[in-house]
Amino acid sequence: MGQFNLNTMQIFLDQHFPQSDIMGKIVKLGNHYAEMLLAVDESHLRPGGTISGPTMMALADVSMYCAILNEIGPKLHTVTTNLNINFLRKPKANAPILAKANVLKIGKTLAMGEVAIYSVNDKNIGDEMVAHATVTYSIPKN
């Protein structure tokens, strides 16, 4: 059973990360799993009218952070040690993006997982993956 529910996780993010309002909203939280949805606006776009890489990287990072903290509890100083992302196709600039984070392993000092990011359309949420990330976090001892 997870350490958080959707409401308490969003409150945790809002309290500890002043930029949480631009990082998306947690929409699903489960065993070793989290989903975040980002409503894309002009601030997320880069020249050429596509969602910027840093926007997708931030969404991948935060969604995995939520999935890990749901397992280990509110260890605020759990930090990213590595994030590798592959941009697979151009996401729709006028559509939200959805990150699906899966924790693959949690050890004593490190946690690792993968995140799939999808462009959301009206008919089918997440029909084509636009980016894939692997993320590793350092877990504090206390």
For residue 64, being part of any structural domain is answered with yes
pTM for the model: 0.92
26 has pLDDT over 80 = yes
Assign residue 51 the CATH number of its domain. Answer: 3.10.129.10
Question: What's the pLDDT tens digit per position in 58-108?
Answer: 999 999 999 999 999 999 899 999 999 999 998 887 889 999 999 999 999
Question: What's the pLDDT tens digit per position in 113-135?
Answer: 999 999 987 665 656 899 999 99
Q: H helices within the chain, ranges in order?
A: 6-16, 53-72
Count the domains in the chain. Answer: 1
Sheet holding 110-119, edge to edge: 25-30, 33-38, 97-106, 110-119, 129-138, 79-87
Domain ranges, residue 92: 6-138
